[in-house]
């Protein structure tokens, strides 16, 4: 093995890194790949298609790298070891092909940003892009050049633990946030050693798991697939996405990893994707469990024929491809093509020129002050104010004694959220720590319950006593990080443990009660909202959650987040989402509820509309909802034309006024309804949004440009087009308010 001084990256090579790929660079890369392919043995080719997790001894991995029998390693994060394994690949293997080192860097590497659902609540693609850029800088300083992010799964069921990892229920919001992440990770120059390749996952439909149970089957019909689940992936591809990951689920009986229509006809032929496709962890092997393949040979055959380039941890290609080739079940050209796709991304990443990590960078990059500042900004913008009766927030300067209670007040690991592999709880600033820094404020800390699932009630009396001695009660509730994320689905979305009891007892004190809820998903907190004076929802906010919360509570910052997902009143309402179809009997008028039904009532189609008798028409909080300490008033939108052609662009102008006492930022949302179509259309669809900052009393004109082609959808014939007709348009602060303005497309 070489000594480490050989690994220092020549500064000149960095400076020469190209800004973007020109046509000649592309040709150049393809020529280099041709040249390499012409020299590769079958074993070396199959090696490029094989990804292992960091396993065995360092010597084992170096030996495999030297033999050219692996193309990528995930979960190796020791930079010195990475340099050594890379050295074996680059300097000791026959052809010197570098390895691609991968990791799940989902919402930060060391500096943890809010979980992706929280980032989506910012409705701020710029901060999301910055977060991904920070993640790339930190991860690459440890040698990681490929992240399995963003998760682009539209998720309409909060029971599904992985709702935490995406941007919520809306295809447009998910598309915008996903594209922002791709730009952040990959930068303007993928060959910059501080850029990392992104991965669009999970392709596709994984978020529609039946009953919100992870890994469960999905049954998404093609119209919904095209109109709801696929658009974020296409947007990511258009943003330059380098890799896609096939999902675990079977849709209508076909596991994604074996779905040729998805991975070849659509992704390659229709969309023109030229990066590579990796399986999810052993998702190829799991085709045996699905009952879609009889043995590993069939697994490898179906994967290759579907369009899988790289196998993550099923060992299907290494164990089967050579025999399949001999038997004529896969073609040499298919294998070559898959290798070409993998090598193309390696070239674009500049790995052939700069395979090693500059170990001197690490200390100045991790937790850099600018990274922490960006994480704090993201956490601040992610806060959604759900209730603020009598303007209890922001807390007045007269508040001198605060009771700090609840299991999330000082839970440094849990506030980081799911997929925190590398962020350290020692670096987390909790709300308790941040509040204790405030001058002139006495903190009476009594958690009441020790952790979110804690069912013991013996600590509640102390929390109540702290409340009685204080001017205000700040209750930090929610769920531990481990209750959401992969394989952590729930059937009950109430606050866990004795938290509900804690809130009930605190409410009885009559002290102003402020709830700060930190969770990985929407929780059914209706009762607690009723009991509290103010409620601020933070999806797990990351390293800087504490200082962000302190600023928000005392008014140094004003909440501006909006819900990226509908909050149900009770689990039985899910899936509940704003962009539902109207149905033949839409809910309207008076709600007849369960207890309104007379005894022994005669059989009737009571109310005649589509809703639950025990939940009524509405969710707890709608998509897009979020208050501010100030108030905003929307004018009626002015449209550039009331009738448009298919090639026109509609300009929408709307006056937005800050009618309250504080400076604030509002997320103005533009929704459209297409009244009739060849298929039934959603009652509303988000088409644009904009964060607008206003001083008290200030009015701004918010302008949106909406090309009519953005109203196109896949109709009855499954082609995408604009169907002429009547439309309604709203500009409002959430998905349920505002008055419609009509226009037509001819």
Q: Does 634 bind ligand NOJ (CB under 6 A)?
A: no
Calpha distance 104→102 (Å, rounded): 7
Residues 269 to 288: which contact ligand NOJ by CB under 6 A?
280-281
Give whichever of 483 and 627 is closer to ligand NOJ, judged by the CB atom: 483
Residue 131 Cβ vs ligand NOJ, minimum distance, rounded to whole Å: 18
The values of phi and psi at residue 179, to 5°, are -65, -40
Cα torsion 78, 79, 82, 88: sign: negative
Query: What residue has token string 């930060």?
Result: 108
In angstroms, what CA-CA distances link 246 with 20, 214, 284, 329, 359?
A: 28, 15, 9, 22, 33
Residues 71 to 90: which contact ligand NOJ by CB under 6 A?
none
Calpha distance 535→386 (Å, rounded): 5
Give whichever of 281 and 292 is closer to ligand NOJ, judged by the CB atom: 281
Residue 412 Cβ vs ligand NOJ, minimum distance, rounded to whole Å: 24
Calpha distance 323→668 (Å, rounded): 58
Give whichever of 336 and 486 is closer to ligand NOJ, judged by the CB atom: 486
In angstroms, what CA-CA distances link 654 with 87, 520, 563, 642?
A: 59, 34, 22, 15
Residue 278 Cβ vs ligand NOJ, minimum distance, rounded to whole Å: 9
Residue 55 Cβ vs ligand NOJ, minimum distance, rounded to whole Å: 13
Q: Which residues contact 660 (CB under 8 A, 6 or more apart)?
A: 628, 629, 630, 631, 632, 696
> Which of 183, 201, 511, 562 is the binder for ligand NOJ (CB under 6 A)?
201
Give whichever of 166 and 682 is closer to ligand NOJ, judged by the CB atom: 166
The values of phi and psi at residue 82, to 5°, are -60, -45
Give whichever of 243 and 380 is closer to ligand NOJ, judged by the CB atom: 243
Told to judge if 280 belongs to the known catalytic residues of this protein, a careful annotator would answer yes
Q: Which residues contact 43 (CB under 8 A, 6 or more apart)?
A: 67, 68, 69, 322
Contact mark string toward ligand NOJ, 225..264, x via CB under 6 A: ----------------------------------------
Contact mark string toward ligand NOJ, 470..509, x via CB under 6 A: ----------------x-----------------------
Contact mark string toward ligand NOJ, 521..560, x via CB under 6 A: ----------------------------------------
Q: Does 104 bind ligand NOJ (CB under 6 A)?
A: yes
Q: Does 148 bind ligand NOJ (CB under 6 A)?
A: yes
* SS3 assignment, position 366: coil
DSSP letters of 225-285?
IIIIISHHHHHHHHTT--EEEE-S-EETTEEGGG-HIIIIIIIIIIT---SEEEESTTTTT
Residue 14 Cβ vs ligand NOJ, minimum distance, rounded to whole Å: 29
Catalytic member of 104, 124, 280, 309: 280
Give whichever of 281 and 629 is closer to ligand NOJ, judged by the CB atom: 281
Contact mark string toward ligand NOJ, 657..676, x via CB under 6 A: --------------------
Residues 414 to 473: which contact ligand NOJ by CB under 6 A?
none
Residue 487 Cβ vs ligand NOJ, minimum distance, rounded to whole Å: 9
Residue 165 Cβ vs ligand NOJ, minimum distance, rounded to whole Å: 8
Q: Which long-range contacts (CB under 8 A, 24 or more apart) does 736-741 make?
A: 736/578, 736/618, 736/622, 736/624, 736/625, 738/634, 738/671, 739/636, 740/673, 741/636, 741/637, 741/639
Residue 621 Cβ vs ligand NOJ, minimum distance, rounded to whole Å: 28
Give whichever of 184 and 207 is closer to ligand NOJ, judged by the CB atom: 207
Q: Is 288 exposed, middle or buried (0-12, 13-18, 19+ CB in 10 A)?
A: middle
650 close to 706: Cβ distance less than 8 angstroms? yes
Give whichever of 162 and 348 is closer to ligand NOJ, judged by the CB atom: 162
3-state helix, strand, coil in the chain (%, to 5): 35, 20, 45
Which residue is nearest to ligand NOJ, using beta carbons? Answer: 148
Count of residues touching ligand NOJ (by CB under 6 A): 6
Residues found near ligand NOJ in the complex (CB under 6 A): 104, 148, 201, 280-281, 486
What residues are labeled active site? 280
């Amino acid at each position: 093995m070489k000594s480490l001084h050989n690994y220092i990256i020549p500064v000149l090579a960095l400076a020469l890194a190209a800004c973007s790929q020109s046509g000649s660079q592309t040709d150049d890369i393809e020529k280099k790949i041709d040249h390499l392919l012409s020299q590769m043995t079958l074993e070396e080719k199959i090696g490029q298609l094989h990804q292992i997790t960091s396993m065995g001894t360092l010597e084992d991995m170096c030996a495999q790298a030297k033999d050219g029998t692996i193309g990528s390693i995930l979960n190796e994060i020791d930079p010195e070891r990475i340099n050594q394994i890379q050295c074996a690949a680059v300097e000791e293997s026959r052809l010197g092909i570098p390895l691609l080192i991968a990791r799940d860097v989902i919402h930060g590497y060391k500096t943890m940003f809010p979980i992706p659902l929280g980032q989506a609540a910012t409705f701020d693609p710029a901060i999301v892009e910055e977060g991904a850029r920070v993640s790339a800088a930190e991860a690459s300083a440890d040698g990681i050049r490929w992240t399995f992010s963003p998760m682009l799964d539209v998720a309409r069921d909060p029971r599904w633990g992985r709702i935490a990892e995406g941007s919520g229920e809306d295809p447009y919001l998910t598309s915008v946030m996903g594209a922002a992440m791709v730009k952040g990770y990959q930068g303007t120059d993928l060959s910059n050693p501080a850029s990392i390749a992104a991965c669009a996952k999970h392709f596709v439909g994984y978020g529609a798991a039946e009953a919100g149970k992870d890994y469960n089957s999905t049954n998404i019909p093609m119209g919904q697939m095209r109109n709801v689940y696929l658009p974020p992936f296409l947007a990511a591809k258009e943003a330059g996405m380098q890799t896609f990951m096939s999902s675990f689920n079977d849709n209508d009986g076909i596991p994604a990893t074996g779905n040729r229509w998805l991975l070849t006809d659509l992704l390659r032929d229709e969309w023109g994707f030229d990066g590579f496709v990796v399986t999810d962890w052993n998702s190829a092997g799991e085709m045996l469990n699905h009952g879609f393949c009889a043995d590993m040979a069939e697994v490898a055959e179906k994967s290759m024929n579907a369009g899988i380039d790289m196998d993550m941890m099923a060992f299907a290609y290494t164990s089967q491809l050579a025999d399949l080739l001999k038997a004529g079940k896969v073609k040499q050209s298919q294998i070559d093509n898959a290798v070409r796709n993998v090598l193309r991304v390696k070239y674009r990443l500049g790995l052939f020129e700069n395979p090693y990590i500059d170990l001197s960078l690490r200390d100045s990059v991790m937790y850099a002050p600018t990274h922490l500042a960006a994480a704090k900004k993201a956490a601040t913008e992610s806060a959604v104010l759900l209730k603020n009766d009598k303007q209890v927030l922001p807390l007045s300067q007269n508040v001198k004694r605060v009771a700090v209670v609840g299991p999330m007040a000082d839970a440094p690991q849990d506030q980081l959220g799911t997929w925190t592999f590398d962020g350290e709880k020692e670096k987390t600033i909790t709300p308790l720590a941040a509040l204790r820094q405030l001058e002139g404020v006495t903190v009476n800390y009594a958690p009441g319950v020790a952790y979110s699932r804690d069912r013991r009630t013996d600590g509640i009396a102390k929390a109540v006593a702290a409340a009685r001695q204080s001017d205000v009660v700040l209750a930090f509730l929610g769920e531990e990080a481990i209750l959401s994320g992969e394989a952590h689905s729930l059937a009950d979305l109430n606050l866990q443990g004795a938290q509900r009891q804690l809130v009930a007892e605190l409410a009885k004190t009559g002290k102003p009660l402020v709830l700060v809820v930190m969770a990985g998903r929407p929780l059914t907190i209706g009762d607690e909202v009723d009991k509290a004076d103010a409620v601020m929802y933070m999806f797990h906010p990351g390293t800087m959650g504490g200082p962000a919360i302190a600023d928000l509570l005392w008014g140094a910052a004003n909440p501006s987040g909006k819900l990226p997902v509908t909050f149900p009143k009770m689990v039985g309402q899910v899936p509940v989402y704003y962009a539902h179809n109207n149905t033949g009997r839409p809910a309207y008028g008076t709600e007849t509820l369960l207890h309104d039904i007379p005894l022994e009532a005669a059989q009737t189609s009571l109310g005649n509309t589509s809703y639950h008798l025990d939940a009524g028409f509405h969710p707890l909080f709608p998509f897009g909802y979020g208050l501010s300490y100030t108030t905003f008033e929307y004018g009626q939108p002015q449209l550039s034309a009331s009738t448009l052609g298919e090639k026109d662009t509609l300009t929408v102008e709307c006056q937005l006024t800050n009618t309250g006492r504080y400076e604030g930022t509002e997320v103005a949302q533009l929704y459209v309804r297409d009244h009739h179509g060849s298929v039934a259309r959603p009652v509303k669809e988000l088409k644009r949004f904009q964060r607008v900052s206003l001083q008290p009393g200030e009015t701004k004109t918010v302008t949106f440009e909406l090309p009519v082609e953005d109203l196109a959808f896949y109709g009855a014939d499954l082609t995408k087009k604009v169907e002429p007709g009547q439309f309604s348009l709203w500009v409002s602060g959430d998905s349920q308010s505002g008055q419609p303005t009509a226009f037509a497309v001819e």
